[in-house]
Amino acid sequence: MADPAVGTNSEIFDPSKEKKKKKKKVLDLDSVLLGSSSAAVDEEVVAEPVGVIPDTVEFGDGEPGAHDDILESLETFGSKKKKKKVKKIVLDEDVAAVIEEEIGVGGEEALDFDFTKKKKKKGAKGIDDLVAGEELEDETGEVQFNEGESPEKENAEVVNIPAPKTWLTSDRDYTYDELLTRVFEIMHAKNPEMASGTKQKFVMRPPQVVRIGTKKTSFVNFMEICKMLHRHQKHLLDFLLSELGTSGSIDGNNQLIIKGRFQQKQIENVLRRYIKEYVTCHTCRSPNTLLQKDFRLFFLQCEACGSRCSVASIKHGFQAVTGKRAAMRAKAN
């Protein structure tokens, strides 16, 4: 029984070996996560393997399994052990999947800015900002900027250390990485304030939003914010109304009355988008810009870097019928 059985077993379990390898990785993570506690569990298992909770047994068994990998490669273990391991794999994978998910989520938070996530983050940060410093800043811009910067910086360091300006001595062409690092070096040398944090705070007063009755919302300091952004109130008004998909007007006290219920956070989000598109320079992100209208097109002229680029015109787009159709028909006739 012994010889052929072992032979077939090893063949059968070939795919599971791959799994084991995967599992090994995960187990490493486990051990990292659990740290010394798993080791402690190990000892317990050795001491009294009967009265331990199955989960802990899993971990305990998994640990020596990982250590035995060398042995596995030599294929010198009995079939019993193998069977045990199969069980482990199934159970451990569940645990592993959970852990991987957790890690995956964590990693995504750091690296991947999915649209929905970004929005959530934005909202949360918005609250934080307001609570902390009573200021409104272009979070998305900053975040993106940092993201764009950091990997390149790392690159720069990596590339830079082995070969600092080697192209000066040789005849070969420059590589892209070298030129990139050179540009960043020069940029950081000339603008130390940018190099330090790559953060340009754009401080703004939060919009004061008050509900009027049940159906209308008032944006009290609308004029003030227009002045702060150096934009025509009509332009901002157009943008706000088209984004929110409602109607509204400016009343005698220079406040904006919007139809519909809106919270301050929501208005903030829209304002943030407006600032990103129509206020901050698309090249250098400086808020010191002018909006000019040439040949029916809006151009954003930056005062800081002198760049000039066209910005999207405000379109209202499709508006669904939300009111009473009978009333609309009566109005039309």
Tokens of 120: 């959530």
Amino acid at 13: F
Smallest distance from other proteins to CB 116, Å: 5
Contacts of 68 (CB under 8 A, 6+ apart): 77
Cα–Cα dist 284/304, whole Å: 8
At closest approach, how far in Å is the CB of 117 from other proteins?
Answer: 10
**160 contributes a contact to other proteins by CB under 8 A:** no
Burial class (CB in 10 A: 0-12, 13-18, 19+), 6: middle
Per CB under 8 A, 9 contacts other proteins: no
Interface characters, 116-135, with other proteins (x: CB under 8 A): x-------------------
Q: How far is the CB of 126 from other proteins (least distance, A)?
A: 12
Q: Please report the sign of the dihedral spanned by the C-alpha atoms of residue 273, residue 278, residue 283, residue 286.
A: negative
Encode burial over 232-269: b for 16+ CB neighbours within 10 A, e otherwise.
ebebbbebbbebbebebeeeeeebbbbeeebebebbbb
Query: Toward other proteins, which CB reaches closer, 129 or 268?
Result: 268
Considering only 260, 276, 277, 298, the residue that binds other proteins (CB under 8 A) is: 260
Give all strands of the β-sheet with 256-259 in edge-to-edge order. Answer: 209-212, 216-219, 256-259, 248-250
Of 13 and 274, which CB lies nearer to other proteins in the complex structure? Answer: 274
Comparison of 181 and 218: residue with beta carbon closer to other proteins: 218
In the complex, the smallest distance separating the C-beta of residue 211 from other proteins, rounded to whole angstroms, is: 13
Per-residue binder mask for other proteins (CB under 8 A), 313-332, x = binder:
--x-xxxx-x----------
Which residues are CB-neighbours of 239 under 8 A, at least 6 positions away? 270, 274, 278, 314
Q: Which of 222, 262, 274, 278 binds other proteins (CB under 8 A)?
A: 262
CB of 237 to other proteins, least distance (A): 16
Q: Which is nearer to other proteins, 178 or 268 (CB)?
A: 268
Report in angstroms how near the CB of residue 259 gets to other proteins at its nearest. Answer: 8
- For other proteins, give the closer residue by CB, 37 or 319: 319
CB within 8 Å of 246: residues ≥ 6 apart: 258, 259, 260
Nearer to other proteins, 87 or 120 (CB): 120
112/303 with CB nearer other proteins = 112
> Do residues 251 and 212 lie in contact, with contact meaning Cβ atoms separated by under 8 Å?
no
Rounded to 5°, the CA angle 227-233-234 comes to 160
Which of positions 229-248 make contact with other proteins (CB under 8 A)? 242-246
Give me the least distance between CB of 269 and other proteins, in Å please: 6
Taking the least distance from each CB to other proteins, the nearer of 123 and 141 is 123
What's the closest the beta carbon of residue 218 comes to other proteins, in angstroms?
16
Which stretches of the chain bind other proteins, using CB under 8 A? 115-116, 242-246, 260-263, 266-267, 269-270, 315, 317-320, 322
